Amino acid sequence: MKKTFYFLLSILVLISCSKNDDSNTPENEMEMEMEADLIIGSWKPIKQVNFYEDGTSDTYNYSSCQQQSRYIFEINSNYDFYNYNPDGNGDCVITEVNPEFIEGVWEKLSEGVYKLTSTYFNNVTQENETQIYITDEILFPNSNKMRWRVNTNDVYNGNNRDYYYTEFNKD
């Protein structure tokens, strides 16, 4: 009888201690949502698929050098990117650009839509510049694949292009 009493008492103590009353605070909910966002991680470009007005499409597969490029989205809302391309000697190097990328901040606006705020240092003007980009659509076919869609009405490879997406794999 004593053993049964202690057993039931220990079960009661475990049940009463297992609930965390602080788990539903706005800060914790926001943090849990950020942790669950599939964009968080390091992404390498694999291919670009172009869709044209005439209903055709084509695919450009990134080279092994270009696949060293990365978009890195962190849980603290910062992001960074590194762009690799072959140079004139056939070496794979980080592409230097002007203006020079300093930092980036990302924010999820709605399902599949993100705002990317980038700060650059312009070597010509010697000033920092900010650029805001709202994505057209980012889809996640699974947790290790991202498709970044860009709506465009331009001429690409001699065809009128409606849109394209770049497909990334998570490292």
- Alpha carbons 171 and 163: distance in angstroms, whole number: 26
**Could you tell me the CATH number of the domain that includes residue 58?**
2.40.128
pLDDT of residue 21: 47
Q: Is 68 helix (H, G, I), strand (E, B) or coil?
A: helix
Among candidate residues 40, 37, 93, 100, the one with its CA nearest the CA of residue 66: 93
Domain that residue 95 falls in: 41-170
pLDDT of residue 28: 54
For residue 15, the surrounding DSSP H or E stretch is helix 2-17
pLDDT of residue 123: 82
Neighbouring CB atoms inside 10 A of 22's CB total 7
Residue 145 lies in a domain: yes
pLDDT averaged per 10 residues in sequence order, the chain, 171 residues: 42 42 51 74 98 97 97 96 90 80 93 95 89 97 97 93 98 92
The secondary structure of residue 37, as a DSSP letter, is -
Residue 62 lies in a domain: yes
Residue 118 lies in a domain: yes
Whole-prediction pTM: 0.76
Residue 16 lies in a domain: no
pLDDT of residue 124: 86
Structural domains in the chain (count): 1
Residue 58 lies in a domain: yes
